[in-house]
Amino acid sequence: MRILVPLDGSQLAEYALGAAAQIARESPDSRIDLLTVITISTMAGTYDYPQVISYQVDSGIDTSSAYLHDIKHRQTLGQLNVEAHVEVGVPSDTICAKAHELKSDFILMTSHGRTGLARIAMGSVAEDVARKSHIPTMILKVSELTFAKNVSAEPFSLLIPLDGAPLAETVLPYAATIAKVFHGAVTLLQVIPTTSHDPKKTEDLSHQSETYLFSMQQRMQKEGFAVRVKTLWGDPVAQIQHYATDPAHGVDLVAMATHGRTGPEKLAFGSVAESVLHRVALPVLLINPANPD
């Protein structure tokens, strides 16, 4: 497994290192690629002379290379296969391009990290990367310093909200990869966004959801996963947030597609995914199915 970790020199951005190390240690033959992006506009400032810009870029590359060399040899990443990369460009575009070039399996970023070598507003960059990249992006909240609890003491738990649409299901193989790495259990959740008082409609929607989730459950169970299913009613974002953050469910990661605009009640799943990212203080895995390989 190849994991790309963009860093901007801030301590907040470096919180992603612990999570990357956790995943890498659980997955044989893993590699972590560290990336710092230098932006010419911020490095050049008010100067517009080519030689000044060139000097600033060269200096930035040297500083960033030294920084990543230090990161690479930290105890957190001890005995792991780690490579360092410095690029010049627009942060989100450069991260997406580098992930594609390196054939990364996942991009792992924190949701904050507002200053540093490249002066990247890491939170907004992470969201921009998730929207643009066809490679799944895991966004770690700074309140969660680790990716998963001690899996030997308590099973890893992954929540996958679905809306009944094929596009929303594109997250399944990527989520399954993480679940397999941590020998985890999966919960498939469908929220029906209706408050209909028509008993027949309510019964029909419930039956549709149960049938759909059962088919998805069987599909994943055939691949060896422990899978639970759950149907809830009401506001999708609120219900996903409530389920994910309830300590009784022990959710470690929420995995969603960032698009998927059809399904029961025509749920605009892309906007739901982004709202969940903002409101749930857990790691979130996002995949943009609009950008396939």
Residue ranges of the chain assigned to CATH 3.40.50.620? 2-140, 157-287
Asked whether the predicted pLDDT for residue 250 surpasses 80, the reply is yes
**The pLDDT value given to residue 114:** 43
What is the CB-side half-sphere exposure of residue 21 using CA atoms within 13 A?
17
CATH tag for 2-140 (out of 1.10.287.130, 3.10.100.10, 3.30.160.110, 3.40.50.620): 3.40.50.620
DSSP 218-257: HHHHTTT-EEEEEEEES-HHHHHHHHHH-TTT---EEEEE
Tell me the C-alpha to C-alpha distance, in Å, between residue 16 and each of 42, 80, 137, 162, 242: 24, 15, 12, 27, 25
Length of the chain: 293
Mean pLDDT of the chain: 83
pLDDT, one tens digit per residue, over 50-80 is 666 676 778 888 999 999 999 999 998 989 9
Domain spanning 157-287: which CATH class is it, in words? alpha beta
Looking at per-residue pLDDT, the higher value among 210 and 111 belongs to 210
